[in-house]
Amino acid sequence: MMAERVVLVTGGNVGIGYEVVRALAKAGHVVWLASRDPAKGEKAAAELAGEGDIRPVRIDVTDEASMVAAVAAIEAAHGKLDILINNAGATFGGGAAHVADLDALRAAIENNAIGPLRLSQLALPLLRKGDKPQIINVGSGSGSLHWLGNTPPAFAGRVPLGYATSKTVMHSISVQLAQALKADGIAVNVISPGYVNTAVSQHMGTKSPAEGAESTVRLALNPAPPTGRFLSDVEGEELAW
């Protein structure tokens, strides 16, 4: 009998994260559904109860105590973690770069880059005990410097400075984390889910949350994941950093 695989998904109560939780629970994984608001997390877990073993846990990526407590709960229950999916994120505007609201920019980087890095650091002892361990960071095409330098006309003037910049920072951290953890056998990759109809896109995206979750789920289920890659929502396609 194959040992259970344990997954932690941040921002699992809504949008892409919710669909990732659903799919991985259906695939037989034990999935810890993390949300900032415990009531919302418990509600989402109850809705998905028929899909498999789903366990709500509170994580606010700007609150280290919540991350420490969540990792401790997973350690007590399983003694390991196989996959960490840093999906939680928030949209921050900030205006154009030359007149940017610096407080909004700082908040975006704290939420979307520093928080996921700190959770990854805290989870490392459990990931080192995992089976083919992975850290999957849900990034964004808007965090690609190549894309930002060649923004399609449809997005001109519409790219949120804080969100895009925070994802660029997340991408840089991910590349360096992948290199640092190669010796431990821990794969670290970034996924671009595409333009998804969620609160992050102000519900202007063209893909459903379930479609947006597909690339993350595909990577999570890969028995031999790559590392240090920026992967598109199109299977097998890599994006320019």
Question: Domain map of the chain by residue range?
Answer: 6-231
CATH architecture of structural domain 6-231: 3-Layer(aba) Sandwich (3.40)
Mean pLDDT of 150-169: 87
**Helix (H/G/I), strand (E/B), else coil: 38:** helix
Does the pLDDT value for residue 4 go beyond 90? no
Average pLDDT, the chain: 92
Q: Token match 């890969």: residue?
A: 222
Q: For residues 89 and 171, is the Cβ–Cβ distance under 8 A?
A: no
Where is 212: in which H helix or E strand?
A: helix 209-220
The pLDDT value recorded for residue 230 is 97
Query: Among residues of the chain, what percentage have pLDDT more than 90?
Result: 78
